[in-house]
């Protein structure tokens, strides 16, 4: 939920400026590129595309930024953690874990007769004990192709690493480092860290003598509040 219940997911691809060769009026140096947005309109799964530096934004179209004019939201970056599924589509792992086939899943939230969402376990309730895709899982949820524009959404991000065993993994396997980001995009008026008060570090002192050629030298830390 981003700034309200009615959200939309936008897929953004970065690519060279089309129909603008180097030397043309609109791309004289040949360096130009654009960010092309596509609204995800129906429930679906989407794969990460390294060639397009793909990212996604969850936005509230009813909240426009005063400067950019764009809908306020948050951008999901998975470049540092996206990994393709290496198992075959008809393998046991793929059959029971349909969520592996896409990096991002978007579906409409369905409220139960009692309190809370009906869609709680996107990979099914008992993944290790199944041989087939669970009926109550993300792969089945998106088959309805429900509208997901300005709706109460569920957005699932699938990331991981493809581990190739090494002798150095024994007896303790080293940590695998992954990087997934969630960044505000046209959500704040400015960088929110601008409001963080400064601090006076007692250990931040001149590294050299306070005198240069016999004259008193000023310190860059003297005016710190």
157 phi/psi in degrees, rounded to 5: -110, 125
Read off the pLDDT of residues 98-125 as tens digits, 9 standing for 90 and up: 889 999 999 999 887 776 788 889 988 8
Residue 187 covered by a domain: yes
The total number of structural domains in the chain stands at 1
Give the alpha-carbon dihedral of 38, 40, 42, 47, to 10 degrees.
100
Q: Extract the residue ranges of the chain whose pLDDT is less than 70.
A: 115, 209-225
Backbone angles phi, psi at 62, to 5 degrees: -85, -5
pLDDT value, residue 209 = 64
In-domain check, residue 224: no
Distance separating alpha carbons of residues 133 and 94, to the nearest angstrom: 8
pLDDT in the model for residue 132: 85
The answer to whether residue 205 is domain-embedded is: no
Return d(Cα 82, Cα 114) in angstroms, integer. 36
The answer to whether position 47 is within a domain reads: yes
Domain range spanning residue 72? 8-197
Q: What is the CA radius of gyration of the chain?
A: 25
The verdict on residue 29 lying in a domain is yes
Burial of 76 (0-12, 13-18, 19+ CB in 10 A): buried
Residue 16 resides in a domain: yes
Per-residue pLDDT, 133 = 86
DSSP state of 160: -
Question: Quick check: is 179 in a domain?
Answer: yes
pLDDT given for residue 61 in this prediction: 94
Whole-prediction pTM value? 0.80
Strands (E), 40-192: 44-46, 55-64, 71-80, 104-108, 153-157, 179-185
Q: Give which of 161, 191, 186, 190 is closest to 173, Cα–Cα.
A: 161
CATH of the domain at 126: 2.70.98.20
């Amino acid at each position: 939920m981003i700034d309200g219940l009615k959200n939309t997911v936008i897929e953004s691809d970065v690519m060279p400026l089309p129909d603008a060769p180097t030397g043309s009026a609109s791309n004289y140096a040949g360096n130009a590129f654009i960010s092309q947005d596509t609204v995800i309109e129906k429930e679906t799964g989407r794969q990460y595309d390294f060639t397009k530096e793909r990212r996604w934004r969850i936005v509230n179209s009813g909240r426009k930024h005063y400067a950019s004019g764009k809908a306020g939201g948050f951008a999901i970056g998975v470049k540092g953690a996206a990994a393709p599924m290496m198992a075959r589509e008809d393998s046991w792992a793929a059959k029971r874990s349909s969520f592996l086939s896409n990096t991002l899943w978007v579906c409409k939230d369905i409220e139960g007769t009692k309190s809370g969402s009906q869609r709680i376990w996107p990979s099914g309730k008992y993944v290790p004990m199944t041989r087939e895709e669970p009926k109550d899982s993300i792969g089945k949820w998106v088959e309805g192709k429900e509208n997901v524009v300005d709706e109460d959404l569920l957005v699932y991000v699938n990331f991981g690493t493809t581990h190739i065993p090494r002798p150095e993994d024994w007896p303790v396997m080293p940590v695998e480092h992954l990087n997934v980001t969630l960044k505000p995009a046209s959500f704040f008026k400015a960088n929110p860290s601008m409001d963080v008060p400064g601090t006076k570090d007692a250990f931040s002192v001149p590294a050299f003598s306070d005198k240069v050629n016999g004259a008193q030298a000023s310190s860059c830390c003297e005016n710190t509040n």
